[in-house]
Structure 1
């Protein structure tokens, strides 16, 4: 049997925004378009991964780090999807995928302390 869905993911959850919804916030869209490597490193660190991990994506046309980070975000938040779709999006829409993951993390981030409540 071939596994194409992430085990343990609730089918009810969806991404808060689509891959192509990055233009809703032009400031964020420009940041991801012009500074994708730096922003990806920052987001990777926020997700508890190595700061320099996204820089390994430069080595080929298939983006294994972007793909694995997208799967990680889906699994972390219980978002419905398939690995095939993750692979396609991660290969052809790299800045849009990172921007989508950033929006998802920002939208779902719960305040962890008084500092987070004050900054909102």
Structure 2
């Protein structure tokens, strides 16, 4: 008579802590100094990197040179991110930040993507 013993380890529990607020303020650049320096010294390159990481075309932010006073790509990316992550806010605030704090807006979006990007790791698998 053969018997099989199955031992089951406790499984990890993923706790999702989502908020309807931005994870950092518009001027919290000291949370990620290297990225903020990159954004300050070469905002178009930084914006293209963040756009690609967000799932949009790499060179999309470069279209802002045709935009006029209000940067349309920065503003639309900020609105899109608010909607994707369920962050409360309004179009007026998005417009003001995008127009007068462009580099800081891209930095804030970068920090938010890092905070909200939860990697799923398969710890163990059992063949049936």
Say which structure is richer in helix. Answer: 1
Say whether the fold is shared (TM-score over 0.5): yes
CA distance in 2, matches of 1:43, 1:27: 14
Number of the residue aligned with 1:70: 78
Of the two, which has the highest radius of gyration? 2
Number of the residue aligned with 1:3: none
- Number of equivalences: 103
Structure 2 segments unaligned to the other structure (5+ residues): 1-18, 123-128
Per the normalisation by structure 1, the TM-score is 0.79
- Where relative contact order (Cα < 8 A, 6+ residues apart) is larger, the structure is 1
1:95 to 94, 103, 115: 103
Structure 1 segments unaligned to the other structure (5+ residues): 1-11, 115-120
Task: Write the deviation string for residues 60-115 of structure 1: whole angstroms up to 9, x where unpaired.
Answer: 2210000000001100100010011001100000000000000000111011457x
2:48 to 35, 41, 55: 41
Task: Write the deviation string for residues 3-58 of structure 1: whole angstroms up to 9, x where unpaired.
Answer: xxxxxxxxx61000010111333212101101211111111111111111100112
Number of the residue aligned with 1:16: 23
CA distance in 1, matches of 2:106, 2:121: 26
CA distance in 2, matches of 1:57, 1:78: 26
Question: C-alpha root-mean-square deviation of aligned residues, in Å?
Answer: 1.5
1:27 to 10, 28, 34: 34
Hey, which bits of structure 1, 4+ residues long, moved more than 4 A? none
